[in-house]
């Protein structure tokens, strides 16, 4: 009995130390991956990106500075695409983006659907939210998915379950959430979806090759 208790305490201590070590190594690990992720292309088939700062408001939203923000514009279209590439940490795990928007009471989700983008021989699932901003009196779309190595999902709960394995050291790389926001006015939905799919497809392929290969 005492031996079993000793083994149990020893195992729990080992897990705790492992989690503590992983927590302290998050900053260094994320820094390496963020440097690689900066290879995401600035120019994608006529869409030109510029870097955006992580402001106080953005930080309140994503709860981390381990992120890359870029705004893609194209003179041929009446909208821009703001892309967030956010790296997770144990201290501040992801949460569904819709919580950010509706949590402050300024936005209303009017539609939620799932789509996919082709990427090589696979399809990457995305969640799409259509929202209405009460404060800005505008409508906008949000597209998002989570990824780690060869895994990609738009299911928040699946990502959280797999995130446990990441925290225990079975997956030696952080999770990434890619999120795109598009504010629009008098623009056809088909036009937005086609262009966003094009941008996110290239970003997915670039992240996969730059970070995990």
User: What domains can be seen in the chain, in order of their start residue?
Assistant: 26-212 (3.40.1000)
The winner for highest mean pLDDT among 54-58, 148-152, 175-179, 197-201 is 197-201
Residue 175 Cα distances to 85, 104, 111, 163, angstroms: 10, 26, 26, 8
> If we measure between CA atoms, which residue out of 85, 48, 90 comes closest to residue 67?
85
Q: With pLDDT > 90 as the criterion, what percentage of the chain qualifies?
A: 25
- Which position has the token pair 């003179």? 75
With cut-offs at 50, 70 and 90, classify the pLDDT of residue 46. Answer: very high
The winner for highest mean pLDDT among 69-78, 103-112, 165-174, 177-186 is 69-78
Q: Which residues pair with 147 in a beta bridge?
A: 152, 176
pLDDT higher at 55 or 64: 55
pTM of this prediction?
0.78
With cut-offs at 50, 70 and 90, classify the pLDDT of residue 23. Answer: very low
> If we measure between CA atoms, which residue out of 40, 45, 17, 35 comes closest to residue 195?
45
pLDDT higher at 135 or 47: 47
Asked if residue 175 lies in contact with residue 90, where contact means CB atoms within 8 angstroms, the answer is no
Query: What's the chain's average pLDDT?
Result: 77
Query: What is the enclosing helix (H) or strand (E) of 72?
Result: strand 67-73
The pLDDT value recorded for residue 1 is 55
pLDDT in tens, 86-141: 887 555 567 777 776 665 556 788 888 999 888 777 788 888 888 877 666 778 89
Q: Which two tokens stand for residue 39?
A: 């290879």
The pLDDT value recorded for residue 92 is 56
Return the percent helix, strand and coil in the chain, to nearest 5.
40, 30, 25
Q: Is the pLDDT of residue 167 over 60?
A: no
Range from 19-33, 53-67, 125-139 carrying the lowest mean pLDDT: 19-33
């Amino acid at each position: 009995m005492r031996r079993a208790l000793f083994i149990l305490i020893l195992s729990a201590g080992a897990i705790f130390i492992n989690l503590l070590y992983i927590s302290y190594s998050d900053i260094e690990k994320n820094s390496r991956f963020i440097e690689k992720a900066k290879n995401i292309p600035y120019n994608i088939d006529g869409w030109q990106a510029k870097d955006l700062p992580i402001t106080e408001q953005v930080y309140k939203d994503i709860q981390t500075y381990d992120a890359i923000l870029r705004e893609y514009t194209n003179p041929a279209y009446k909208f821009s695409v703001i892309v967030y590439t956010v790296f997770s940490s144990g201290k501040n795990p992801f949460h569904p983006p819709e919580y950010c928007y509706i949590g402050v009471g300024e936005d209303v989700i009017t539609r939620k659907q799932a789509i996919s983008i082709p990427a090589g021989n696979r399809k990457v699932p995305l969640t799409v939210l259509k929202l209405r901003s009460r404060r800005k009196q505008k409508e906008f779309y949000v597209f998002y998915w989570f990824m780690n190595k060869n895994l990609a999902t738009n299911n928040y709960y699946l990502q959280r379950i797999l995130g446990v394995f990441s925290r225990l050291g079975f997956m030696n790389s952080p999770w990434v959430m890619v999120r795109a926001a598009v504010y629009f006015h008098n623009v056809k939905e088909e036009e937005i979806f086609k262009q966003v799919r094009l941008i996110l497809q290239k970003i997915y392929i670039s992240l996969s090759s730059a970070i995990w290969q």
